[in-house]
Amino acid sequence: MVELIKPRRLSPGDTVGITAPASLVDTEQVKEASTILEKMGLHVRLGDTLTMQHGYLAGTDEARAAEMNAMFADPAIKAIICARGGYGTGRIANLLDYDLIRANPKIFWGYSDITFLHAAIGRFAGLVTFHGPMLIDLGKEDLHPLTVQNYETLLHPSVLRYTEEISPLQTLVEGEAFGPIIGGNLSLIVSTLGTPYELDTRGKLLLIEDIDEEPYRLDRMLNQLRHAGKFADAAGILICDFHNCVPNKRKVSFTLEEIFSEHIVSAGKPTLSGFKIGHCSPNIAVPLGIGARMSTYEKLLACTEPGVEA
């Protein structure tokens, strides 16, 4: 396991690279969303993948991986923000240069399908990365002020402290737990199993979220993680937003609460649900790899330090 390193904070005037490591992108939507970063005093450099198409991907695997490697290597780029998720990051994990990434630590930011890259970079480069709203999220009509504030913390580092002031939290298993935060999108976490990028949950706080998955599909994925020992190994579980995860194909269904109870609560680890992290508004950014404390008694998730160096 490589030693953990943090990227440096941003300063006004810094250049942020925008890349599309997964699905193809609406370029005009990206340009419009970029104006919010520019208003923060940042320069925006749009990657070539934003105008590429290879089937349902934003360019070939080689092109998308090469752009990420190039952005990490470029000293003028201080942060890399993913334009969107969708599908495709698992296809390029073996094409990234993790020695290069570790030698050039910088902010890497995204969620959803980007979960696979968070897992890979965390495991092989040891870099703290950010599970946070994609660039296209900044262009949404219902953009929440807290979603924008996530980005401002990269210029003005702060320590994440999530309480019920942000959203109601429900205790599924009482207790306190300490450990680095890992995880992200449930579907992507499951897709890492059996690969070199598989998440090691031992002693960690495991974060899970998803979107548009029917309960029976969530049941299958959670069952697989349970059998793989991922919940039993974890120090604690953070159940985040499961947007539009409702019965459709199978109208007779278990509730999400019943599924969580069977697969997660049965592990007996401190568990809180209700975090506005994932495909939701607001979407609170989380520094993956940073140590944190969760308490069901205080209804609290608190990191021990910022995700960036001052």
Instruction: Identify the CA nearest to 175 among candidates 273, 240, 266, 272.
Output: 272
pTM over 0.85: yes
Q: What angle, 0 to 180 degrees and rounded to 10, lies between the N-to-C axes of helices 145-152 and 27-39?
A: 70
Kindly state the helix (H) or strand (E) to which residue 116 belongs, with its residue range: helix 115-124
What is residue 194's predicted lDDT score, i.e. its pLDDT? 98
What is residue 1's predicted lDDT score, i.e. its pLDDT? 67
Kindly state the helix (H) or strand (E) to which residue 239 belongs, with its residue range: strand 236-243
Q: Look at residue 50 and give its three-state secondary structure.
A: helix
- Which ranges of the chain have pLDDT less than 50? none
Enumerate the active-site residues: 112, 209, 279
**CA 59, chain centre distance (Å):** 22
- The count of C-alpha atoms lying within 13 angstroms of the C-alpha of 172, restricted to the half-sphere facing its C-beta, is 25
What is residue 140's predicted lDDT score, i.e. its pLDDT? 87
What is residue 142's predicted lDDT score, i.e. its pLDDT? 83
pLDDT, tens only, 10-42? 999 999 999 999 999 999 999 999 999 999 999
Residues 11-15: contacts with CB within 8 Å, 24+ apart?
A: 11/78, 11/155, 12/40, 12/41, 12/42, 12/155, 13/41, 13/42, 13/43, 14/42, 14/43, 14/78, 14/79, 15/42, 15/43, 15/44, 15/45, 15/76, 15/77, 15/78
**CA 22, chain centre distance (Å):** 14
Buried b (16+ CB within 10 A) or exposed e, 147-164: bbebbebbeebeebebee
Cis preceding linkage at 282, omega within 30 = yes
pLDDT, tens only, 243-266? 999 998 877 999 999 999 999 999
- Please, are residues 272 and 169 in contact by the beta-carbon 8 Å criterion? yes
